[in-house]
Amino acid sequence: MVFAAPGEALARAEELLSADPSPLHASVAHQVIGIWQRDFGDTRRALAHLRRARDLAARADSAEREADVLATLGVALVHAGRTRAGLAAFEQGVARGSGHTRARVLYRRAYVWWVLGRHGEALEDVRRAIPVLRQADDVIWTARALTLRATVHLALGSVERADADFTAAEALWDTTGQEHDKADAVESRGLAAFRSGDVPAALRLLDEAEERYAKLGTPTFMLTIRRCEVLMAAGLATEALAEADAAIAVLEGIGGQSTRRAELLLVAARAARLAGEPQTSLARAAVAVRLFAGQRRTWYETHARLVLIEARVATGRGSGRLVADAATVAERLAAFGAPAAPEASLLAGRIALDLGWTADAERHLAVAARSRHSGPPLARMTGWAAQALRARAAGSARGVLEACRRGLDVLDDHRMTLGASELRARATAQGAELAALAQRASLVSGGPRRLLVWSERWRATVLSAPPTRPPADPVLLTAMTAFRELAARAEETRSDGGRPAPALEREQRRLEREIRSRTLHMRGEAPGDGDRFDVGRLLRRLGDEVRLVELAVLDGRVHVLLCGQGRVRRFEAGLLAEAEAEAEHVQAGLRRLAHPGAEARLPLVEAAGARLQHLLLGPAAAHLGSGPVVVVPPGRLHRVPWSLLPALRERVLSVSPSASSWLRARDTAAPPGGRQVLVRGPGLASGGAEIPELAERYGAARTPEDGAAWHRPPGRGYGPGGGVPGAGSSGDGIRHEANDREVRRPAAGGGVPVPATGEGTPDATTGPGSPSTVGGEHVRSPGARVAAEGADGRPPRAGAARSPGGPDRRGGPTVLEGDEARVPRVLRELDGAALAHIAAHGTFRADSPLFSSLRMADGPLIVHDFERLDRSPYRIILPCCDTARFASVGADELLGLVTALLPLGTAGVVACTAPVNDAAAVPLMLALHKGLDAGLSLAEALRDARASLPGDAVHQATGWAFTAFGAA
């Protein structure tokens, strides 16, 4: 019962002891309490109860009972770090028991051998135990033995043997009521899925096991260790470190198993190294090595020494001594049959190369390279990395590029098994070394074209294919609805001047974890090559007028690849670190300029823009020609306001995460029907003042059957005192994130000022009785085309002739505001639209980018919601703060709202990277739509809209904060 219903078993055992039982029965009760304390509580208490159980068994003169207790005591002693005493207890147990009892003792000793990392002895003992247990028809213990044997096979890399044993064990568990053991079986299947390279299945099974354990009320630290391993493989090292450290704190708080503490320290050390925290890794690994040595667990100690050496190298401590240490670790791991042996050989070879010891490096790298043809994806990538380093040491650029290509192909196949865009993005970090090696080799021999190909090979790869559409999972949908409702309640509480109750915040965080967890379970489509980047195709599409500027970073320096006029040229610019620092200064300046009264900072921001140009474009700035420019920056420069750079300020300018994604956007056809959607979320300082004006521009009138029409209410036009508040006026609202509560005061005459058709002159107001409502009712109409289309169904290219008849005005836009602007309705209307304009508070979540959101009437519209669209809007305009902010993850990937839209059918986005002045954003948006109405592209319309703004600091900063992404 202690593994079927642990809490009930503990209570029954304590009840039995209070009834003055016989020595035999008391021995059983103390053993049960000892098992409970050993696995779920205090190890010291466990040892006390188990010693008492052993003594009572001896008093009862039952050799079989004594042998059974000795086996349980042996496990507890080993987990307490007293390995010698534990093995001695097993020797006594094997000698005292016979037949069926001895088989159970052997099974538990096999488990201890596995804990100690002595897999050969574990397989021998379990091999002796299984036939006897089967002959005795002991279903539960046979299933346990099969599960253990499978786990040992996994540790040795024998996935197929493990699968067979897990399958057999699971069939037996289905005939029992052993709930804890069933949960353990699910956990084991998760481990098997991980070892075979199926990360989504591993996460799903481990989460299911966690739910099962939670119902039993039994903490399990082994599950945490395994989950952390999977999280690290998925690129979520920071999360793995947090989980491991939290488990260590809990374990130490209850006086739990010393063996588990050492294992958790090891996994925390690995996670810290992968998360870029080498000092933390050093500290955790050093303690783990000491604990494993004291526990006589050589297998684990050797793995901990590998992490310790990796951490020392990461802190810049490469030396000949470390080469020898890594080589020794590699030899020991190979002798153990551990799958990590190639990693240690690669490490030894890498250190030797850095020291210039080419002969030693070749020896170690040759050993590591053997793993490139077999095993799970990450092991094969280790082998290809070793092969690439061998080729570099031999001076073979061709060999380097071939090895890098093969290794990244392995990563691509692995990546495409992941359904969640977050996992796909983070997984690319595992190919960063290969991509960097290939770029360096291309730079040395191959010219700018080859460097461009390799720059594209690992840039924004997540955008190369749409993410797997989230399943119609009722639990997931319910969680997202509940999350939205809670977030809306929390927002309402904050708006009233308070803060949400702690219970509300905890539940919101729990729902976030559940949504994210279920999303990470999604499997990707079958691996495929997709479209390979073709430089010739890019140059043909660019023609003679358009220039594409791709920035590649090699060894910390920016290299500018200027594409256009049928060729690719390379220029060297500044240091990436200096450019990043300058970009942060510019961001701070733009934030300040969003508020009136900061005019003195405008020259400083403009000067910073000139410095940025020198660092990012260098001499290439003089070769941009006079036509449109497409900038393809690395992920770490995603917050640069590119239109601030002097050479780009007056240009038709767009930004793309990669040249490949620009080509895809360029080839994306607009949807039929030209449907437009205008959305106004709650709480904006301006009230989304551009929406009514845009509705009129696009012909939002009710049909005769509707009995109403958009109109401008009497007395709401502008006379003296009207107009758009400029710098220094009372209208200084800022379009901040959702946690900003600044509300702009109304202009004279009431309402919120709205400029007319992009000219910057006052025209109408909103507020009660505004054009958005008639008689208190929401007014909307069917969609219509937003802009003239070329013969190919797309908006005309830059410089193309405009349609003389202007846009098709057969209908009007769909306008969603007030209670109509609820997430389900908004998503329904956005799906397949030609143009969407969403005026709503934006919130960027650096801690969890896919929970970045736009605030709707019923709560946040998050990135996960957009991923449910069959096709996102062809063009989308987001006049909201921070909608163009991203989290840079993986090798060179971006996670955020814009990058979620691009693979889903959106060809062009206008969004901003900084808080903007609410009043100044309104005329910019109206001028932008005026250009679209005339048939311009987003980039052309944004350029013209900036030029139409007043020359004061607030309006200029607002224009610079917005960027056009894509090619529509």
The CA distances from residue 478 to 481, 518, 861, in Å, are 5, 12, 15
The pLDDT score that the predictor gives to residue 700 is 56
199 vs 53 pLDDT, higher one: 53
349 neighbors 368 (Cβ within 8 angstroms): yes
Which amino acid appears at position 713 of this protein? P
Region label for 708, one of left (φ > 0), alpha (ψ between -120 and 50) or beta (otherwise):
beta
Give the helix/strand (H/E) hosting 791. Answer: none
Q: Which residues pair with 816 in a beta bridge?
A: 679
Which amino acid appears at position 819 of this protein? D
**Distance between CA atoms of 860 and 857, rounded to whole angstroms?**
8
Structure tokens at 889: 């993850």
pLDDT band at 5 (very low <50, low <70, confident <90, very high): confident
The pLDDT score that the predictor gives to residue 468 is 65
Backbone angles phi, psi at 558, to 5 degrees: -85, 130
What percent of the chain clears pLDDT 90, i.e. is strictly above it? 52
**752-755 and 762-766 beta bridge pairing:** antiparallel
Which amino acid appears at position 110 of this protein? A
588 has a pLDDT exceeding 80 = yes
Could you identify the residue written with the tokens 């954003």?
921
Q: Which of 205-219, 472-486, 693-707 has the lowest mean pLDDT?
A: 693-707
The pLDDT score that the predictor gives to residue 465 is 61
Whether the CA torsion 733, 736, 742, 746 is positive or negative: it is positive
**835-839 and 842-843 beta bridge pairing:** unpaired
pTM, rounded to two decimals: 0.75
The pLDDT score that the predictor gives to residue 751 is 33
Average pLDDT of the chain, as a whole number: 82
Q: What is the pLDDT of residues 203-239, one digit of tens each?
A: 999 999 999 998 888 878 999 999 999 998 888 899 9
400 has a pLDDT exceeding 90 = yes
Region label for 297, one of left (φ > 0), alpha (ψ between -120 and 50) or beta (otherwise):
beta
- CB-based burial label for 137 (10 Å; 0-12, 13-18, 19+): exposed
Exposure letters 855-882 (e unless 16+ CB within 10 A, then b): bbbbbbbbbbbbbbbeebbbbbbbbbbb
747 neighbors 722 (Cβ within 8 angstroms): yes
Structure tokens at 779: 């007014």
Q: What is the pLDDT of residues 751-771, one digit of tens each?
A: 333 333 333 333 333 333 333
- Angle between helix axes 341-355 and 320-336 (nearest 10 degrees) is 160
Which amino acid appears at position 370 of this protein? R
The pLDDT score that the predictor gives to residue 697 is 86
Q: What is the pLDDT of residues 241-251, one digit of tens each?
A: 999 999 999 99
Which amino acid appears at position 422 of this protein? E
The pLDDT score that the predictor gives to residue 795 is 36
653 has a pLDDT exceeding 80 = yes
The pLDDT score that the predictor gives to residue 277 is 93
Q: What is the pLDDT of residues 481-538, one digit of tens each?
A: 888 887 877 777 776 666 767 777 788 788 888 887 777 777 776 555 456 789 999 9
Q: Is 722 helix (H, G, I), strand (E, B) or coil?
A: coil
57 has a pLDDT exceeding 60 = yes
CA-based angle 410:416:420, to the nearest 5? 135
Backbone angles phi, psi at 908, to 5 degrees: -155, 140
> What is the number of H-type helices and E-type strands within the chain?
37, 22
632 has a pLDDT exceeding 80 = yes
Q: Which residues pair with 622 in a beta bridge?
A: none
pLDDT band at 894 (very low <50, low <70, confident <90, very high): low
777 has a pLDDT exceeding 60 = no
Q: Which long-range contacts (CB under 8 A, 24 or more apart) does 160-165 make?
A: 162/192, 162/195, 163/192, 163/196
Could you identify the residue written with the tokens 């039993």?
216
Region label for 439, one of left (φ > 0), alpha (ψ between -120 and 50) or beta (otherwise):
alpha
201 neighbors 186 (Cβ within 8 angstroms): no
